[in-house]
């Protein structure tokens, strides 16, 4: 005799989402259509020998256009 038994009904198994390359959203510069970017921190202060504060920005590496302002 088997210790396992089949139970009828129950919940459906989860449908797993298929990973695709289209899920990734790249930052594209609206002015020059470049995908190269870098992060900058503006207006930082030094307190007790450590940098604090400031505003973060993501800028285009080609034309220096602000893509994201945190």
pLDDT digits (tens, 9 = 90+) for 29-55: 999 999 999 999 999 999 999 999 999
**pLDDT for residue 1 is more than 70:** no
Rounded to two decimals, the pTM is 0.57
Is the separation of the CB atoms in 35 and 63 below 8 Å? no
**pLDDT for residue 2 is more than 80:** no
Buried b / exposed e over 2-18, threshold 16 CB at 10 Å, is eeeeeeeeeeeeeeeee
Alpha carbon distance 24, 17 (integer Å)? 14
For the chain, the domains span 37-70
- Report the pLDDT value the prediction gives residue 57, as an integer from 0 to 100: 93
- Report the pLDDT value the prediction gives residue 18, as an integer from 0 to 100: 67
- Report the pLDDT value the prediction gives residue 9, as an integer from 0 to 100: 78
């Amino acid at each position: 005799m088997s210790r396992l038994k089949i139970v009828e009904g129950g919940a459906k198994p989860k449908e797993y989402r298929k990973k695709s390359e289209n899920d990734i959203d790249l930052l594209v510069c609206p002015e020059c259509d470049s995908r190269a970017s870098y992060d900058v921190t503006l207006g930082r202060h030094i307190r007790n020998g450590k940098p604090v504060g400031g505003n973060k920005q993501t800028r285009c590496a080609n034309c220096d256009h602000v893509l994201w302002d945190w």
